[in-house]
Amino acid sequence: MEARAVGFGSHRGGGPSDPRVDDATVLDRGDDLAGLDGAGRQRTGVHSWPEEAERTLEWVARHTLHEMKHHLRDIESLLAAARRPFPT
Residue 53 lies in a domain: yes
Asked whether residue 12 carries a pLDDT value surpassing 60, the answer given is no
Q: C-alpha dihedral over 32, 33, 38, 44, to 10 degrees?
A: 110
Handedness of CA 71, 12, 53, 55 (dihedral sign): positive
Helix or strand or coil: residue 63? helix
Q: Which residues pair with 23 in a beta bridge?
A: none
Residue 7 lies in a domain: no
Q: pLDDT tens digits, residue range 36-82?
A: 888 988 999 898 888 999 999 889 888 888 888 889 899 999 999 99
Number of domains within the chain:
1
Is-contact 26 64, C-beta < 8 A? yes
Domain that holds residue 53: 19-82
Residue 14 lies in a domain: no
Q: What is the pLDDT of residue 42?
A: 92
pTM of the predicted protein model:
0.58
Asked whether residue 20 carries a pLDDT value surpassing 60, the answer given is no
Residue 12 lies in a domain: no
Reduced to 3 DSSP states, what percent helix, strand and coil does the chain have, rounded to the nearest 5?
50, 10, 40
